[in-house]
Amino acid sequence: LRDHGIEPTLEDWQREVEMLPERDHREFYRLFTAKWHGMLDECHGECVLKQTRLSEIVEENLRHMDGEKYQLEAFVIMLNHVHVLAGIPGRGEMQSLCRNWKRYTAGRINALLGKSGQFWQWESFDHVVRSPASLKKFREYILKNPIKARLKEGEFRAWAKPK
């Protein structure tokens, strides 16, 4: 990132990545996100979202304003992370919405676990969907994520808007 003049500690560093020339943008995601998602799919950590009541909190919150503030396309709640595909009116709204989802669900989940403090990672990985082909790619990635991670039925929650 720094080689391209992007400061990774800034809140909107991903916006800067989106502005890179296409070749550099693709190279970044090829090198960085493939490794990151691979580690997530290995299900490290406590994996508390395996608990039905805790994953229900996340699903309920995602569905809460669907059709009003955003349009859900698909989501999967894995053991230790969540993927969401949604139509959101603008980039600023996306960051705010993600913060709100995280804040609300972290508070509820921490209360049930008898914990406090950070629950989600501070950073979210977002991607801009630029075409019908891109939408299809992300939707398939999300829905195939539990299979790739070798999860069994009941260890995840997945939903997609009917085509």
DSSP line for 89-126? S-HHHHHHHHHHHHHHHHHHHHHHHT--S--S-S----
As a whole number of angstroms, the distance between CA 13 and CA 72 comes to 25
Q: What is the mean pLDDT of residues 47-73?
A: 96
Q: Which residue shows structure tokens 């009917």?
A: 162
Query: Of 96, 120, 128, 97, which Cα lies nearest the Cα of 48?
Result: 120
**pLDDT tens string 76-117:** 999 999 999 999 987 678 888 999 999 999 999 999 999 999
Average pLDDT, the chain: 88
Whether residue 50 has pLDDT greater than 90: yes
